[in-house]
């Protein structure tokens, strides 16, 4: 709804100059800048840094509920969540339905992330979650730190179980 309001205000302010072609040009420049930032990051820091320095199997895994909960509690901000879910591929009506059905911010965000996982199935990966969070300006580095900690705990438990079995 916020995007629609912004578009309507832009249309009112610009009148006959507010065409789809003008909007496409302006958004195209913005998208190119964002892509340019990512390419610049790869050039400056190398591909490994740009891909979160996590193993491929971890990045390609579907995030569990603990990761989603951490994402909500540390990275999702009330001002950015709408764009975040749009970038993940959820529709405006789906986001607005969750807005109406779930009053608490945390429960609303959790339900939207679960919906994303259901809709995207195997495409709902940690890589996509981190990339999208980074794209909309969320603090994705905290999410990466959390995943690393959880991965280390899991590896330590597996090692302990194998030596004590």
The reported pLDDT for the residue numbered 115 is 93
Scanning the chain, the segments in alpha helix (DSSP H) are 2-14, 20-45, 47-50, 56-59, 65-70, 81-88, 92-101, 105-120, 126-135, 140-163
pLDDT digits (tens, 9 = 90+) for 50-63: 467 888 888 888 98
The reported pLDDT for the residue numbered 158 is 72
pLDDT digits (tens, 9 = 90+) for 16-32: 776 766 666 666 655 55
The reported pLDDT for the residue numbered 39 is 47
**pTM for the whole structure:** 0.64
Per CATH, the homologous superfamily of domain 52-165 is Death Domain, Fas (1.10.533.10)
Collect contacts of 130-137 with beta carbons under 8 A, ≥24 apart.
Answer: 130/52, 130/59, 132/84, 132/87, 132/88, 133/71, 133/75, 133/84, 135/34, 135/87, 136/80, 136/83, 136/84, 136/87, 137/80
Domain ranges within the chain, ordered by starting residue: 1-50, 52-165
The reported pLDDT for the residue numbered 138 is 81
Segments in the chain below pLDDT 70? 1-10, 18, 20-51, 165
Taking alpha carbons only, the member of 119, 120, 118, 142 closest to residue 130 is 142
């Amino acid at each position: 709804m916020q995007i629609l309001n912004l578009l309507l205000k832009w249309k009112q302010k610009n009148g006959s100059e507010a065409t789809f072609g003008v909007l496409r040009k302006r958004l195209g420049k913005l998208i190119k800048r964002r892509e340019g930032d990512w390419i610049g990051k790869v050039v400056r820091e190398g591909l490994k840094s740009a891909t979160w320095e996590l193993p491929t199997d971890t990045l390609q895994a579907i995030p569990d509920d603990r990761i989603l909960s951490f994402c909500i509690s540390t990275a999702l901000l009330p001002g950015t969540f709408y764009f975040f879910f749009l970038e993940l591929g959820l529709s405006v009506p789906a986001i607005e339905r969750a807005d109406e059905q779930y009053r608490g911010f945390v429960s609303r965000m959790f339900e939207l992330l679960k919906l994303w996982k259901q809709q995207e199935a195997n495409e709902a990966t940690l890589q996509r979650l981190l990339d999208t969070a980074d794209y909309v300006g969320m603090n994705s580095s905290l999410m990466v730190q959390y995943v690393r900690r959880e991965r280390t705990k899991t590896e330590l438990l597996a090692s302990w179980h194998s030596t004590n079995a």
